[in-house]
Amino acid sequence: MNHTSDPVVEVVDLRKSYGAKHALDGLDFDIRTGEIFALLGPNGAGKSTTIEILEGFRTPTSGHVRVLGASPWNADAAWRARVGVVGQSTADIDRFSARELLRHFAGFYPDPRDPDEVLEAVGLAPHAGARVRTLSGGQKRRVDVALGIIGRPELLFLDEPTTGFDPEARRRFWTLVESLRTDGTTILLTTHYLDEAEHLADRVGVIAGGRLVEIGTLRELGGPEARTPVVSWRDADGHHRSERTHTPAALVSELAAALGGEPPELSVHRPTLEDIYLDLLEAHAATAGSSATVDEHGGRPTTNAGTATR
Ligand SMILES: Nc1ncnc2c1ncn2[C@@H]1O[C@H](COP(=O)(O)OP(=O)(O)OP(=O)(O)O)[C@@H](O)[C@H]1O
């Protein structure tokens, strides 16, 4: 465990361009020891570019980046042993069994976890001896997670870790991540699942168009007014109206009195986390002058722990 009070991850004015494309346009954030920090954002926002720079697989165009006190892309093997990586692509060493892979990779670390305990923790114990290629997509993803934590990392990167998991596997994974936090592991997570971020993250950073739109706890997302209920109805001349109010019951009574009965098409809605998140992205797209786009990305390196990192 890192016992210093310095941030585990320090990012100042991080920029990354691919030709004329500014994938990252000046990011600033810190991740503290023992924290679970989630990066949220639409497709193409820059989450994987950020995480891959912090893992040392890409170099920034400019900016200051320190991860466990080092520049990741110049870091040595001792630094790598302190970091765990679960990238977006799935383990492709599929002629081995999960148990064989874990035993093999455990040998690269000074203080690895017990392979059988890891298999149990990720729910792979019943399939430990099966060749990885015979496993389902969700089971292969668990192999990635197992490889990411076998070295007992101080800092764990999880890039969309539960994509393809069934609901029970996701819950089980969340329990595993919580136990890693209890052990003192610092975790950077990217996810498209707001409930995952809500369940796991101490703080989130919302990224869009290569910029950090907001950073804070999920409760703080969108500012203090974002969760204010919205009363909607159709008024006497047929126009659709809506009003944000902390006293929706009072407004509904006023409306009922003014309209002499039930307000037509009345609804009272308390914005959900998803509403708030989508509003944030919409506001960003409006100020950026374009909406968030879905991009294909080429040339991303394989980043699962079993191949590129070790
Ligand atoms: N190797 C590359 N060459 C050129 N452009 C790239 C490359 N990798 C990423 N990009 C572009 O950089 C931007 C950010 O991509 P990135 O993969 O970081 O987004 P993301 O937030 O991880 O998206 P997703 O949620 O789809 O994984 C996108 O516009 C993408 O097309």
Q: Over the stretch 33-46, which tens digit does the pLDDT of each residue have?
A: 999 999 999 999 99
- Residue percentage of the chain with pLDDT more than 70: 90
Tell which one of 277, 297, 300 to mutate to probe ligand 1, the residue whose CB is within 8 A of the most ligand atoms.
297
* Best mean pLDDT range from 35-39, 99-103, 289-293: 35-39
CA angle 305/306/310 to nearest 5° reads 75
Kindly tell me if the per-residue pLDDT of 60 is higher than 70.
yes
Kindly tell me if the per-residue pLDDT of 293 is higher than 60.
no
Query: Domain 9-220 in CATH: superfamily?
Result: P-loop containing nucleotide triphosphate hydrolases (3.40.50.300)
Kindly tell me if the per-residue pLDDT of 291 is higher than 70.
no
- Protein residue with its CA nearest to atom 1 in ligand 1: 299
pLDDT tens-digit readout, 141-170: 889 999 999 999 999 999 998 887 889 888
Kindly tell me if the per-residue pLDDT of 72 is higher than 90.
yes
In the chain, DSSP assigns E strands to 9-18, 21-31, 36-40, 62-67, 83-86, 155-159, 186-190, 203-208, 211-216, 230-234, 240-244, 267-269
Task: State the ipTM, two decimals.
Answer: 0.96
Asked whether the beta carbons of 226 and 235 are under 8 A apart, the reply is no
Taking the centre of ligand 1 as the mean of its atom positions, its distance from the CA of residue 62, in whole angstroms, is 17
Q: Is 157 left (phi over 0), alpha (psi -120 to 50) or beta?
A: beta
Of all atoms in ligand 1, which is nearest to the CA of residue 41?
21
- Protein residue with its CA nearest to atom 24 in ligand 1: 43
- Protein residue with its CA nearest to atom 18 in ligand 1: 46
Q: Would you place residue 92 in the very low, low, confident or very high pLDDT band (cuts 50, 70, 90)?
A: low
Report which of 248, 246, 278, 244 is spatially closest to residue 263, judged by C-alpha positions: 248
Taking the centre of ligand 1 as the mean of its atom positions, its distance from the CA of residue 95, in whole angstroms, is 30
Taking the centre of ligand 1 as the mean of its atom positions, its distance from the CA of residue 49, in whole angstroms, is 6
* Residue boundaries of the structural domains of the chain: 9-220, 228-270
Taking the centre of ligand 1 as the mean of its atom positions, its distance from the CA of residue 142, in whole angstroms, is 24
Q: Which two tokens stand for residue 55?
A: 């893992």
State the pLDDT at residue 15. Answer: 97
* Confidence (pTM): 0.84
State the pLDDT at residue 5. Answer: 62
Beta bridge partner(s), residue 214:
206
The stretch 203-211 carries a mean pLDDT of: 94
Taking the centre of ligand 1 as the mean of its atom positions, its distance from the CA of residue 40, in whole angstroms, is 14
Q: Would you place residue 257 in the very low, low, confident or very high pLDDT band (cuts 50, 70, 90)?
A: very high
List all residues whose CB is within 6 A of at least one atom of ligand 1.
18, 21, 23, 41, 43-49, 295, 297-300
Kindly tell me if the per-residue pLDDT of 2 is higher than 60.
no
Taking the centre of ligand 1 as the mean of its atom positions, its distance from the CA of residue 299, in whole angstroms, is 9
State the pLDDT at residue 70. Answer: 95
Q: Which two tokens stand for residue 115?
A: 């392979």
